[in-house]
């Protein structure tokens, strides 16, 4: 899907449909957006799902986000969660609505394809998610690791859920995420 609102074009594409050149440009955008604090594992976590890409009229990627599938156990049920990753906007175009345009595309995918929407927000990104109706998860956050369920107390307070999809989520019950290399969330 592609939409244009001059001078920006927004499109969605699966990782499999991105060229190596595009993936390299996305990685460079994220490195600049995160001021060099975006690891190889962070990039890897954003691959394998749908990407929302914003390009300016010169073809430069200026904003990006991805939604990938994560398995999350809640109340003895494993959910298919659309997990938002790698949301970044270049510094010279921040506060122009591009982050919102990225999130609108990712939310469209989440709402149509997943049981729940979730993400882990930085302090800088929290305002964007709050303004779009996402809510901080008020319960425990855990991961199913090689040694069993491990509590991730440092993720409590920065894990957000998409309120529109989550009326049945109860913070009295923990979220248990699937394990992955690097930072689990």
As separate numbers, helices (DSSP H) first and strands (DSSP E) second, the chain gives 4, 11
Q: What DSSP character marks residue 20?
A: H
% of the chain at pLDDT higher than 90: 84
Whole-prediction pTM value?
0.92
1: pLDDT strictly greater than 70: no
SS3 track for 25-82: HHHHHHHHHCCCCCCHHHHHHCCCCEEEEEEECCCCEEEEEEEEEEEEEECCEEEEEE
**What pLDDT does 180 receive?**
82
- 113 token code pair: 């394809």
Q: How confident is the model at residue 97 (pLDDT cuts 50, 70, 90)?
A: very high
Domain ranges of the chain: 2-178
Q: What DSSP character marks residue 179?
A: P
Architecture of the domain made up of 2-178 = 3-Layer(aba) Sandwich (3.40)
d(CA 119, CA 158): 8
């Amino acid at each position: 899907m592609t939409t244009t609102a001059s001078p920006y074009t927004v499109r969605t594409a699966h990782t499999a449909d991105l060229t190596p050149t595009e993936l390299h440009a996305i990685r460079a955008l994220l490195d600049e957006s995160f001021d060099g604090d975006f690891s190889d594992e962070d990039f890897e976590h954003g691959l394998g799902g749908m990407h929302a890409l914003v390009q300016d009229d010169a073809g430069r990627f200026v904003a990006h986000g991805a939604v990938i599938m994560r398995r999350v156990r809640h109340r003895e049920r494993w959910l298919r969660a659309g997990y938002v990753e790698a949301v970044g906007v270049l510094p010279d175009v921040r506060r122009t609505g591009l982050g919102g345009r990225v999130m609108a595309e990712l939310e469209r995918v989440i709402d149509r394809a997943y049981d729940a929407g979730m993400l882990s927000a930085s302090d800088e990104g929290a305002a964007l998610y709050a303004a779009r109706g996402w809510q901080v998860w008020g319960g425990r956050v855990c991961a199913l690791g090689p040694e069993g369920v491990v509590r991730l107390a440092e993720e409590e307070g920065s894990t957000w859920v998409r309120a529109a999809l989550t009326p049945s989520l109860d913070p009295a019950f923990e979220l248990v995420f699937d394990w992955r290399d690097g930072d689990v969330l």
